[in-house]
Amino acid sequence: MEEKKEMKTNKLKLVGTNNGFSIKKNGLVDLKIECDSTQLARVLMILQYANEEFSVGAKTPDGNVILGKFMFKSLNIDHDGETKLTLQADKSCVKLDAVEMVYQLEELVTFVLCQRIESVA
């Protein structure tokens, strides 16, 4: 019997503010997102993306932009439920002009993390 493989998309939306980004000497880009306590349940869902690559986009007042393909690096939760999330990618997988544009915004941004999963039907 032949197995059918389907591609499913797993999306996670987070509303947060920029907390900076950095480009290291070794070519890795750290993307930092800060969310308040209302986003805690959603932020914890990022743990399902551990050890997997996923696309990151942002909804801005000027429209949607794709930031690139990232991996989960770290998550910090303080006593108030505020979170600091760090994503990491190789510089070649990131659209640096889009990242810089998003990180110049002063208002809240909806970040969309999208993972493609192969499933057997």
For residue range 62-90, list pLDDT tens digits in order.
889 999 999 999 999 999 999 999 999 99
State yes or no: pLDDT of 121 exceeds 70. no
In the prediction, which pLDDT does 103 show?
Answer: 85
**Third-level CATH fold of 11-116:** Elongation Factor Tu (Ef-tu); domain 3 (2.40.30)
In the prediction, which pLDDT does 1 show?
Answer: 54
CA-CA distances (angstroms) from residue 46 to 50, 97, 100, 111?
A: 7, 25, 23, 12
What is the domain partition of the chain in residue ranges? 11-116
In the prediction, which pLDDT does 61 show?
Answer: 83
In the prediction, which pLDDT does 77 show?
Answer: 95
Average pLDDT of the chain to the nearest whole number = 89
105, 33, 38, 17: which is closest to 70 by C-alpha? 33
In the prediction, which pLDDT does 92 show?
Answer: 94
Cα(106)–Cα(17) distance, rounded to whole angstroms?
8
